[in-house]
Amino acid sequence: MLRYILFHVALPLIAGVSLYIFFRPGTLPVFDALVNTETYNIIMHMRTMIHWSPPGSVIYNLPDALWLYSFFSSINALISMSDDALHTRWVYVPFALALLWESIQFFFPSFGTFDMLDIASYLLTTITFFILHPIRKTLDYESYVKSTSL
- Listed by start position, the domains of the chain span 2-148
Taking the C-alpha atoms of residue 14 and residue 67, their distance in angstroms, rounded to an integer, is 9
3-state secondary structure (DSSP) of residue 5 = helix
pLDDT at 138 over 70: no
What is the average per-residue pLDDT within 67-71?
96
Contact call for residues 13 and 68 (beta carbons, < 8 A):
no
Say which residues have a Cβ less than 8 Å from residue 133's Cβ, sequence separation at least 6.
72, 73, 76, 148
The distance in angstroms from the start CA to the end CA of the chain is 11
Under DSSP, the state recorded for 37 is S
Half-sphere exposure of 56 (CA within 13 A, CB side): 3
The pTM (predicted TM-score) of the whole model is 0.79
The 10 Å Cβ neighbour count of residue 115 is 15
pLDDT at 144 over 60: no
Say which residues have a Cβ less than 8 Å from residue 147's Cβ, sequence separation at least 6.
none
- Among 6-15, 27-36, 57-66, 134-143, name the one with the lowest average pLDDT: 134-143
Taking the C-alpha atoms of residue 96 and residue 75, their distance in angstroms, rounded to an integer, is 13
